[in-house]
Structure 1
Amino acid sequence: MKNNDAVNAFLALGQESRLNVFRLIVQKGDVGLTPTQIHEMLGIPNATLSFHLKELMQAQLITQERQSRNLIYRPNAVHTAALVEFLLDNCCGGQSCLPKPLTRKVKAL
């Protein structure tokens, strides 16, 4: 991923309503959401929602598919994964920064 692509994605996600729309679409995954469903869940006015969806699409964070008379918005998983990889690419000198899984000791009854 190029720096410019990452900057565009971060600019798109840097607005609270757009971030909420993106998170909602990501939660639905491949099922996707229509603008009507997003409006009902988040209460964003239609004109404003249309603007936010356009911005997220231009940042390549979501995709749009027409199904009959409906538009379905889904996360662009490839681009989102590339963005996360871009962020963590040089993290901790190439070593994992994540803590090792904690193991819980189970007391015998």
Structure 2
Amino acid sequence: MDETLAVKSLGALAQETRLRIFRALVAQGPQGLTPGQLSESLGVASTALSFHLKELSHAGLVSQERDGRHLIYRAEFGAMNDLLQFLTAHCCQGEPCEVTASVPVCTAC
């Protein structure tokens, strides 16, 4: 991931509603959610939800697939992992991080 794409991804997530949407899609996993399910569970109006999903999609963080009459939105886990890798590429002054409870802990600090 290059810096321009990282900034675009972080910019898309730097808004409360979009962050909540993305986290809900990550929690749901590959099954994804419909806009109706997202709207109901997050309490976001459908017009606002559509706008936020478009922003996340343009940043490459979510994808959509038509399933009959429904659209299914899914988190793009590859893009999420690329962003995390970009953010931690120079972690711990080049030393391996000790991972505890799924949280990297810098042993060089």
Distance 1:100 1:43 in 2: 34
% same residue: 46
Q: What one-letter code is carried by the residue in structure 1 that aligns with 2:36?
A: T
Output the TM-score relative to the length of structure 2: 0.88
> Offset of 1:95 from its aligned partner?
1.5
> Offset of 1:6 from its aligned partner?
0.3
> Offset of 1:10 from its aligned partner?
0.6
Equivalence for 2:95? 95
2:48 aligned with 1:54, yes or no?
no
Q: Where do 5+ consecutive residues of structure 2 fail to align? A: 102-109
**Structure 1 runs of 4+ off > 2 angstroms?**
96-101
Equivalence for 2:5? 5
Equivalence for 2:105? none
Q: What one-letter code is carried by the residue in structure 1 that aligns with 2:88?
A: L
Equivalence for 2:15? 15
Give the length in aligned residue pairs. 101
Q: Cα RMSD (Å) of the superposition?
A: 1.3
Output the TM-score relative to the length of structure 1: 0.88
